[in-house]
Amino acid sequence: MELEGRVAIVTGGGTGLGAEVCRQLGKAGVRVGVNYSRSQDAARELAASLAAPAVAVRADVREDDQVRSMVAEVEHALGGPIELLVNNAGVTTYVPAPDLDAVSDDDWGTILDVNLVGTWRCVRAVASGMRPRGTGAIVNVASDAVVYLEGSSIPYVVSKVGIVALTRILAEAIAPVRVNAVAPGWMDTPWLDRYVPPDVVAALRRGDEPTVGVDIVAREVVRLLADEGSTGEVSQLSE
């Protein structure tokens, strides 16, 4: 698929991996809707700096009406239908797996609602336009936690396993729209400082645990969006 001139939405696009995906899409000539829920200033600055037309748009992926309004706003602002979607928005809490009592029902509800059901809401909102046109590409951001079944918390790992299952189901259910996923390991982004204890972050930044470059993951996202031969693929990117 030729990406230049197409319109994309990147959820959680204001910082970290999402921001790097937006930059690389902009360099490819893609018009980008930079979604954010909290990082307003970062998203607006990023949108203004991209190499192609872009707009920052706020939406909480837990709210279906906001997701649908985001799609309409981006299509109006950028003058075309959404043909590319990157589901990158995500949250977690840091709780070692053996500490079952430290995980609350609210943790489960929030993490699944943002990471998994939020991905579903965004796909549903764009698929209604993609399917009649017979074209479109979606990449969902999972984690290599789906391979190792280890991560920041049990709800986080379960949410990412669910994203892989959702990706593979949707690849058949909404074909010829293509649906793929990336499953990266630890990345050094502001997400670490927000959700991970300082001692764990320090160990990662010392190199005690392997990390993967944000630019490498973003390039793979863009590759999957463009690759007309790929659907239902889960691309693992670790150390």
Domain ranges of the chain: 7-230
The answer to whether residue 166 scores a pLDDT higher than 80 is yes
> What residues does 235 pair with on adjacent strands?
182
Tokens matching residue 84:
């590319």
The predicted-structure confidence for 206-230, as pLDDT tens digits, reads as follows 988 889 999 999 999 999 999 999 9
* Cβ(143)–Cβ(184) below 8 Å: yes
Residue 47, classed as helix, strand or coil, is: helix
Q: Is the pTM of this model over 0.85?
A: yes
Q: What is the DSSP string of 87-153?
A: E---------TT-GGGS-HHHHHHHIIIIIIHHHHHHHHHHHHHHHHT--EEEEE--THHHH--SS-
Kindly list the catalytic residues: 156
CA distance 30 to 67: 20
Confidence of residue 203 (pLDDT cuts 50, 70, 90): confident
Res 239: pLDDT = 62
Q: How many residues does the chain have?
A: 239
* Cβ(50)–Cβ(22) below 8 Å: yes
Domain 7-230 CATH class label? alpha beta
Torsion angles phi and psi, residue 167, rounded to 5:
-60, -50
**Across 166-186, average pLDDT:** 97
The predicted-structure confidence for 118-165, as pLDDT tens digits, reads as follows 999 999 999 999 999 999 999 999 999 999 998 899 999 999 999 999
Torsion angles phi and psi, residue 180, rounded to 5:
-130, 175
